[in-house]
């Protein structure tokens, strides 16, 4: 089973905080097995209540909290894009969602920097600044 983007982000944030699965589950008052299933992609669409508890327990920054909610509703989002956005702090949530909604065609590896640049140009042009 390939890693789900939501699971990748949850695990990434959990590890950044230095929490084990059980510690996160305890802080969020969610079963640790459920957190494990979310991280592995066996479960992908938790309730808003569970998302809120996890976000609070992870002390997720605003952008990452928005990403968690987006990924729970958009399960086909590419995990590579999430990895790229996590490395690039300058990427806004709006730019992330724009890039996530772009269809990728081809056999090569997607170029996330190019996707983000295209979204930025679109946003700039749409705002009348281009």
Which domain does 75 fall in, by range?
Answer: 5-126
User: Given this model, what pLDDT does residue 50 score?
Assistant: 97
For residue range 63-106, list pLDDT tens digits in order. 999 999 999 999 999 999 999 999 999 999 999 999 999 866 66
Whether the model pTM is above 0.75: yes
**What is the count of structural domains for the chain?**
1
pLDDT in tens, 3-55: 799 999 999 999 999 999 999 999 999 999 999 999 999 998 899 999 999 99
CATH of the domain at 34: 1.10.260.40
Distance between CA atoms of 64 and 48, rounded to whole angstroms? 15
The answer for 42, left when phi > 0, alpha when psi is -120 to 50, beta otherwise, is alpha
């Amino acid at each position: 089973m390939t890693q789900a983007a939501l699971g990748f982000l949850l695990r990434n944030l959990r590890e950044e905080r230095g929490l084990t699965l059980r510690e996160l589950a305890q802080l969020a008052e969610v079963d640790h097995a459920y957190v494990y299933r979310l991280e592995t992609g066996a479960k992908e669409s938790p309730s808003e209540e569970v998302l809120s508890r996890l976000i609070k327990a992870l002390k997720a920054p605003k952008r990452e909290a928005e990403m968690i909610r987006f990924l729970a509703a958009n399960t086909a989002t590419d995990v590579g894009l999430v990895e790229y956005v996590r490395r690039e702090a300058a990427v806004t949530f709006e730019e992330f969602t724009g890039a996530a909604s772009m269809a990728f065609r081809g056999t090569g590896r997607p170029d996330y920097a190019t996707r983000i640049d295209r979204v930025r140009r679109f946003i700039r042009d749409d705002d009348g600044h281009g």
